[in-house]
C-alpha cells in the first residue's frame, strides 16, 4: 500500500520579536499574567513586506532544501491559512508562482488552527489515491493583521509565522512499522462558531474583520476534543501513548497542552512545546513545532509522532505518523 511520508521540514518567522514587556506598553496586561495563563513569553509579528505568502514561500523553500528536492519534484501545494494575502486567488497559487512552479496545482484549505492537520490529511489522500507523488503542505498565518490590538484578551495570544513539510508517496508493507502517516482523524462542529470567529468577510461586511474569542469557553472544549481524536488514531492502529516518541500539539496555550498530555498519559518529556517562543500561530503552529524539533535533532528516523490541533469552527483533528 501507499503511505505518505514526511521527507522535508522547513519554517519561517517574521523579523520582529514582540515580547510580553512590549505588549505591556500597548494594553493593560502583564508579563506575569500572560506567562502564568498561557506560557507565552514572546511572539513574532509580521512587518512591512512580510505576508502570509512571503512567509509561506520561505518555509516551503526551507522544506524543499531539507528534502534535497527541487520544485520540479512537487506535484501539488496545499496551503492552510485563515489569513490569505487576497480574498482570491488562493495564496497557495501565489506561493506556487514564487517558487517558480508552473506545473501541478495549488489550493488553500481553511480550518483555522486545525488547518495544517486538515491540509496534511488532504494531501495524504491525494497521494494514496495516486493523483500526486509529492506534495508541499504549508501552514502560514499573519494573525497580527486580524487582531484587535485594543483587546487584551486576544491580542496577547497570537503570533505570525509559517511551517511546511514535503510529503512523499512511498510503497509500504501496510504495517504499523511503516514510515509515513499511519492514521488520521478529522472533526468539526459548526454550532460553536460564535466562540471563536472573525467579524468580517467579503460576503457579509465586505471587510476583513477582527478576531473574537470566548477564551474560557474554547478552553472548556479543547482538552476533550483533542483527546478524542488522538485516542481515535491510537484505536485505528492498536498503538498507545506508551509507543509515542513525540507529541506535537497545536500551540495555543501551555495549560491546554499539559492537560491534554496528562489525560492521554503522555510523559511531559515527549511533548514538543514552542508556544513560549511563537505564541499561537494558528495553522502554522504544528509545522513550526515540527520544524523546531527536527532542527534540534529530537525527531529521529523511525520515531512515532502524534500531531493534533483544535480551533475555530470548531475544527479538530489528529495525525499519527512515523518519521
Rule CB under 6 A: which of 94-113 touch ligand UT7?
113
Query: Which of 311, 318, 319, 321 contacts ligand UT7 by CB under 6 A?
Result: 311
Q: Which is nearer to ligand UT7, 105 or 219 (CB)?
A: 219
Give the footprint of ligand UT7 on residues 24-83 (CB under 6 A). 29, 33, 37-38
Strands (E), the chain: 2-12, 16-19, 42-45, 76-80, 105-109, 134-142, 160-171, 180-188, 196-198, 211-213, 246-249, 304-311, 315-322
For ligand UT7, give the closer residue by CB, 153 or 172.
Answer: 153
Shortest distance in whole angstroms from residue 156 CB to ligand UT7? 4
Q: Considering only residues 222-281, where is the footprint of ligand UT7 by CB under 6 A?
A: 222, 252-253, 256, 280
Q: How many residues bind ligand UT7 (CB under 6 A)?
A: 18
CB-CB contact of 54 with 95 (8 Å): no
β-bridge mates for residue 139, sequence order = 80, 163
* Part of the chain binding ligand UT7 (CB under 6 A), chosen from 58-66, 99-107, 210-218, 265-273: 210-218
d(CA 185, CA 228): 9
Which span (80-88, 159-167, 216-224, 290-298) binds ligand UT7, by CB under 6 A? Answer: 216-224
d(CA 171, CA 160): 36
Within 201-284, residue ranges assigned H as helices are 215-237, 254-264, 275-278
CB proximity list for 224: less than 8 A, separation 6 or greater? none
Catalytic residues: 113, 250, 280
Closest-CA residue to 294 (of 5, 8, 3, 69)? 8
* Interacting residues of 22 by C-beta distance below 8 A, sequence separation 6+: none
Q: Please say whether the beta carbons of 317 and 308 come within 8 A.
A: yes
Q: How far is the CB of 253 from ligand UT7 (least distance, A)?
A: 4
Whichever of 106 and 223 has its CB closer to ligand UT7, that residue is 223
Any contact of residue 221 with ligand UT7 (CB under 6 A)? no
Q: Contacting ligand UT7 (CB under 6 A), which of 128, 219, 262, 276?
A: 219
79-112: burial string, b at 16+ Cβ within 10 Å, e else:
bbbbbbbeeeebbbbbbbebbebeebebbbbbbb
> Using CB under 6 A as the criterion, what x/- string covers residues 139-178 for binding ligand UT7?
-------------xx--x----------------------
Helix, strand, coil percentages, rounded to 5, for the chain: 40, 25, 35
Give whichever of 27 and 176 is closer to ligand UT7, judged by the CB atom: 27
Indicate the residue among 252 and 288 with the shorter CB distance to ligand UT7: 252
Q: Specify the residue, 54 or 280, whose C-beta has the smaller distance to ligand UT7.
A: 280
List interacting residues with ligand UT7 (CB under 6 A): 29, 33, 37-38, 113, 152-153, 156, 215-216, 218-219, 222, 252-253, 256, 280, 311
Amino acid at each position: 500500500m501507499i503511505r505518505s511520508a514526511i521527507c522535508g521540514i522547513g519554517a519561517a518567522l517574521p523579523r520582529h520579536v514582540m515580547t510580553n514587556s512590549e505588549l505591556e506598553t500597548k494594553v493593560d496586561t502583564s508579563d506575569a499574567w500572560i506567562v502564568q495563563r498561557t506560557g507565552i513569553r514572546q511572539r513574532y509579528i509580521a512587518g512591512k513586506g512580510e505576508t502570509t505568502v512571503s512567509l509561506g514561500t520561505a518555509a516551503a523553500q526551507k522544506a524543499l532544501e531539507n528534502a534535497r528536492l527541487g520544485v520540479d519534484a512537487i506535484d501539488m501545494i496545499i496551503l492552510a491559512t485563515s489569513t490569505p494575502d487576497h480574498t482570491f486567488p488562493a495564496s497557495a497559487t501565489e506561493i506556487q508562482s514564487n517558487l517558480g512552479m508552473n506545473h501541478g496545482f495549488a489550493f488553500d484549505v481553511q480550518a483555522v488552527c486545525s488547518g495544517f492537520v486538515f491540509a496534511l490529511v488532504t494531501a495524504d489522500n491525494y497521494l494514496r489515491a495516486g493523483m500526486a507523488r509529492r506534495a508541499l503542505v504549508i501552514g502560514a498565518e499573519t494573525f497580527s493583521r486580524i487582531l484587535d490590538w485594543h483587546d487584551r484578551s486576544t491580542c496577547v495570544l497570537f503570533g505570525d509565522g509559517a511551517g511546511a513539510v514535503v510529503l512523499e508517496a512511498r510503497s509500504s508493507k501496510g504495517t504499523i512499522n511503516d514510515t509515513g502517516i499511519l492514521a488520521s482523524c478529522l472533526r468539526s462542529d459548526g454550532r460553536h462558531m460564535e466562540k471563536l470567529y472573525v467579524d468580517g468577510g467579503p460576503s457579509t461586511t465586505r471587510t476583513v474583520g477582527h478576531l473574537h474569542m470566548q477564551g474560557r469557553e474554547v478552553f472548556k472544549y479543547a482538552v476533550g476534543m483533542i483527546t478524542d481524536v488522538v485516542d481515535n488514531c491510537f484505536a485505528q492502529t492498536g498503538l498507545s501513548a506508551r509507543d509515542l516518541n513525540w507529541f506535537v500539539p497545536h500551540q495555543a496555550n501551555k495549560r491546554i497542552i499539559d492537560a491534554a498530555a496528562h489525560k492521554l498519559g503522555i510523559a511531559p518529556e515527549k511533548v514538543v512545546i514552542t508556544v513560549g517562543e511563537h505564541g499561537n500561530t494558528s495553522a502554522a503552529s504544528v509545522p513550526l513545532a515540527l520544524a523546531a524539533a527536527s532542527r534540534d535533532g529530537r525527531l529521529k528516523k523511525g520515531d512515532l509522532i502524534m500531531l493534533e490541533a483544535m480551533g475555530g469552527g470548531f475544527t479538530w483533528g489528529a495525525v499519527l505518523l512515523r518519521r
